[in-house]
Amino acid sequence: MQDTTTAATGQARRPRLAEFALALGGFGIGTSEFVIMGLMNRVAADLAVSVPQVGYAISSYALGVVVGAPLISALAARVPRRALLIALMLVFAVGNIASALAPGFWSFVGLRFLAGLPHGAYFGIAALVAAGAVPIDQRARAIARVMLGLTVAILIGAPLGTWAGNLLGWQVAFSAVGAIALLTALLIRLWVPPQPYDALASPLRELSALIKQRVLVTVAIACVGCGGMFAIFSYVMPTLTQQAGMSEALGPLVLVIFGLGSIAGNLAGARLADRHLMRAIPRILLWCVAVQGLFYFAANNVWSGLLFVGLVGTSMALAPALQTRLMDVAGDAQTMAASMNHAAFNGANALGAWLAGLAIQLGLVWSATGLVGAALGLLGLAIFFFGRGLERRDAGLRLAAGTNRS
């Protein structure tokens, strides 16, 4: 794949290596984000808290993404992209290594927030590089390839981290992620060419994305509609072990199955989005509602539960579609919009984990997380159609105003 973002020649000398470096960063980020789901029991025991309380650490990381994406995109509007990517990976490395050294639960929660700060900006900038390197009708697939590092992390990184963390201590998993981040920073410096920056960029221009109606609607769809996947996945291990009777030894298999589903969903969603973006989004949301709602029933049995873990993973199909939509409606604030998709995605992580934990604490069965997910998917669908209604209304007003002037 060509890299059209170089400052001088417009092409990377080794485009495949540059793409690998960016994907490796996504692999580290994805491993850090998802490995804790497989280590919840171990973290809870070591830090003397309940399993639902470990959900606070998941939500804290996600909130770090939500805060970091707009803040970094605005403040670093004129920073050359390669330098910014390296800096983001260094902060991410520090956050994860410090998480492994946390002396107590609340310090761990705070350090997970720090580790989450670079997440959205990193993926946003990488997505812009990928989308700018291909024809316009292939953007979603290019974004999906960049995000492949994230989905491979779910398939390989998180299961390996879960296995190592349960065998050697959960601290090992976060230390390994920190090492991956340091390696990524080095490879970006070696293989990703210098990135141009827009001399007219400014924090104010980037922040203008946050007042655009269609941007806000798309962010809301991502924040709510993606929440169901996280509602289920955040508590998938205790759901299957305590409700379905699955052995904890199958924990890595759960993550592998979810990872396969997320890879399939990521690629299929990108293809659907490139064909017809505004039809793809509601269809994917309807699929999410169906599979997440049925998880409530499937999780009573180990094998049907495992099957639906994979189907819930296909909810990842929303990510490239919504990323492309944000690029379409962002205008000049491309960096902010690209980053906001991942902020919204992790807002969904925080919202889903919180609502699912609340449902469990209220005494509902573990698989009630599927009902939470279906409800969030329906709300995301309602937001989509509300936004389309606003667009049609605005188009009608513009048409009427033009007719009156003529």
Query: What pLDDT, in 10s, does the model give residues 112-150?
Result: 999 999 998 998 888 777 776 667 777 787 778 778 898
pTM over 0.75: yes
Q: Per-residue b/e over 62-100, b at no fewer than 16 CB within 10 Å?
A: bbbbbbbbbbbbbebbebebbebbbbbbebbbbbbbbbb
* C-alpha span between 98 and 270 (Å, rounded): 35
pLDDT at 197: 65
C-alpha distance from residue 175 to each of 98, 101, 107, 169, 310 (Å): 8, 9, 16, 11, 28
Nearest Cα to Cα of residue 158 among 57, 257, 74: 257
pLDDT at 20: 84
pLDDT one digit per residue (tens) for the chain, 406 residues: 333 334 443 345 666 677 788 889 999 999 998 898 778 889 999 998 988 788 889 888 888 888 898 889 888 878 887 888 899 999 999 999 999 999 999 999 999 999 999 998 998 888 777 776 667 777 787 778 778 898 898 789 988 998 899 899 999 999 999 999 999 999 988 887 776 666 666 677 777 767 788 889 999 999 999 999 999 988 998 999 999 999 988 877 887 899 899 999 999 999 999 898 999 999 999 999 999 999 999 999 999 999 999 999 999 999 889 988 988 887 777 778 778 877 788 788 879 988 999 999 999 999 999 999 999 999 999 999 999 999 888 877 777 776 666 5
CATH number of 15-405, picked from 2.40.128.110, 1.20.1250.20, 3.40.50.300, 3.30.365.10: 1.20.1250.20
